[in-house]
Structure 1
Amino acid sequence: MAGFRSLAYQVRDARNDRALRRHSLRRCLERFAPYGHRATWWHLCDRHGIAPEDRAADPQRLVAALEELEEARAVWLAYERQFAERRRREKHDGLRRPEWAWGGSGDAVVRCADPDVRPAGTLAEVLRRLVAALESEPGTACPVCGERELHWPAPVPNPRRGRGAGRGTACGRQSAGRGSGGGPGPWEGAWAWDGPVCAGCGIVVPRPALADSAWAAPPASAAAGAA
């Protein structure tokens, strides 16, 4: 299976036809898609003037979209390396507190609940804001746009239906770190990393970016709808 860098090379390779170069860019999103595959693709298409279904897109536009994706990937991989190094130091010092981490290498790390509603700015700008929030004290607003209106979708009646187990933490399971111990349980389609949806930019706010006071119970109407 080709890796991200091999696929990026195929996007840039002028010997390839336009359809293959576009296909290679789409496959890059299988390796790194911070908003989720569809939302990230639509974001890149909107920013770089690519028709989502155009299989003969301008190669220069494809490369420009790739460069934006590469910059964002570099931001996130740098954060993952710093996080892993810090945890190694803490464990060496005997600090083994459970903590949220992301084990998906940028796969929907700041996913959009609705692919049509996405943050403003480049992918790298958005991820830098998220990283700054994750490296600071948890807050009560969206770490990307600052919106304080956060909505919890309807919870899952049976928690075992959620997809939280096995996704969203470095150890592959939901742990009891920052932001745990309060708020509603898993909601339909949620991963362990997922918190409420921002009413401003539409992202699913990562739980480790939220303070305990932001873990408000879901609206009664949402809870009733899930009953």
Structure 2
Amino acid sequence: MSSFPAQAARVRDAKLPLRRRLLALRECVLHFAPYGFRATWHHLVVNAGLPVYLEEDADSLVRAVDELEEARQLWLAETHAYKSRRLQEKAAGRRQPRRSEGWHTWLEWLAFCPDPQLHPRERLVTVVHRLLTAYRSEATSADVCPACEAPRPSLPCLSCGVYSWSPAAYPRNPAGVQPSDTPGIGLPWQLIWHRAVPRDTTVGGGDIAELRAEFTPTSQDGLFGIFQLYVRNVAVGDATTTALYPHFQDLRNLYDAAERPGSRGPEPLILGDTFDHLEMTLETTRQDMIFAFTTRPEWGAPPPWAPWAGRRMRLLVRRSEVINAWREAEPQFRQFLTWL
């Protein structure tokens, strides 16, 4: 593994292929991940605006590494000061560090976030500075989160997601193990890695574990953007720019099918241009709707999260979840479709 500065230079090298620059950014996050790798990656994707298709905004790679490096410089300064102090203490006969300074020994004790999607949204340097100040003061209360300063009845913080360091937990946390980068229960890691994540402007409705529809406007009038449909945690759309209105109509048709009583055999399901890489059918039973789809073998470049060509997925969703998704999403989408 190359050093952080070497990888950061590759991220900034506009002559390199975008894929190589992206992997260099990944190496930078492996070197410095104050929230844990997955949560730090998600933070950079959202804050720097890393798109699914990097050619749409190649400069976002530079914004991401700039933010990461800014916070890393602050952490390195603290680390160097700590090492110098420990050398002096060892020379004076203090062989063991103070218990209150245990957070220096492992970066991920700084602000580990078990849920990759729940982490502070401020710039990394702001949060790292706040945490370093709190830890150095040794006056942090267990009832207050040092990362966001919100009341915290338990770990991790319910407001910002940080599982902060505590002398009482050193060198283990209350569960008896060091925090590890385990997958969260929300958006699948594959989608986070490929930057297919909701943004600040994303609206929608439904439960991602059942059925959820989302729209992220990219045009000034809000009529065009990225429409995504999740079926049982599986992202179905390809995350390319599309018009909202046709997908609004298709979602309403799904709602009508969910409201219609009776069972119907598998029928072709057409959901518009961002789903053209899939062959889809819809089957309804008395209580459920069954979505079946596979990637078209002849499709040249399906999204990286699409099922393998020839692999058929069959996902069952309760009718009530489809109805709920429409009822939550409709008013959110109508704010852009003002003529309806």
User: TM class, shorter-chain normalised?
Assistant: 0.5 to 0.7
**How many positions carry a matched residue from both structures?**
166
Per the alignment, residue 7 of structure 2 pairs with 7
1-structure distance, mates of 2:50, 2:118:
18
Instruction: Deviation per CA, 1:63-121: give whole Å up to 9, x if none.
Output: 011100000110111111111112222222333454314334x4563111211111131
| 8 Å CA contact 1:22, 1:57 repeated in 2 | no
Partner SS for 2:111: coil
Moved more, 141-150 or 9-18: 141-150
| Alignment correspondent of 1:155 | none
Instruction: Tell me what 2:78 maps to.
Output: 79
Structure 1: 5+ residue stretches without partners? 152-195, 212-216, 219-227
Amino acid at match of 2:129: R
Aligned residue number for residue 29 of structure 2: 29
When normalised by structure 1's length, the TM-score is 0.66
- Tell whether the 8 Å contact from 1:110 to 1:205 is kept in structure 2 after alignment: yes
- Alignment correspondent of 2:159: 200
**Of 62-71 and 82-91, the range deviating more from structure 2:** 82-91
Displaced runs of 4 or more, over 4 A: none
**In proportion to residue count, which structure has more strand?**
2
Q: Which string of whole-angstrom CA distances, capped at 9 and with x for unpartnered residues, describes residues 172-222 of structure 1? A: xxxxxxxxxxxxxxxxxxxxxxxx3112211001114x79xxxxx99xxxx
Is the contact made by 1:32 and 1:107 (CA closer than 8 Å) also made in structure 2?
no
Q: Deviation at 1:16?
A: 0.4
TM-score, length basis structure 2: 0.45
Aligned counterpart, 1:63: 62
Matches within 5 A, 1:44-193: 44-51=44-51, 53-56=52-55, 58-98=57-97, 99=99, 100-104=102-106, 106-107=107-108, 109-140=110-141, 141-151=144-154
Cα distance in 1 between the residues matched to 2:113 and 2:63? 22
SS at match of 1:143: coil
User: Does structure 1 retain, via aligned residues, the 8 Å contact 2:103–2:110?
Assistant: no
Please name the residue that 2:40 is paired with.
40
Which AA in structure 2 matches 1:205? S
* AA partner of residue 114 (structure 1): D
Q: Is the alpha carbon distance of 1:147 and 1:134 closer, same or farther for their aligned partners in structure 2, counting shifts above 3 Å?
A: same
Separation in 2, partners of 1:198, 1:85? 32
Q: CA-to-partner distance for each residue in 1:2-58, whole Å, 9 max, x for gaps?
A: 11111111111111011111121112111111111111111111111113x445462
Separation in 1 of the partners of 2:60 and 2:110?
25
Whole-Å separation in 1 of the counterparts to 2:109 and 2:64 = 17
- Code of the aligned partner of 2:73: A
Change in Cα spacing, 1:30 to 1:107, as seen in structure 2 (3 Å) is: farther
> 1:116 and 1:136 mapped to 2: Cα distance?
29
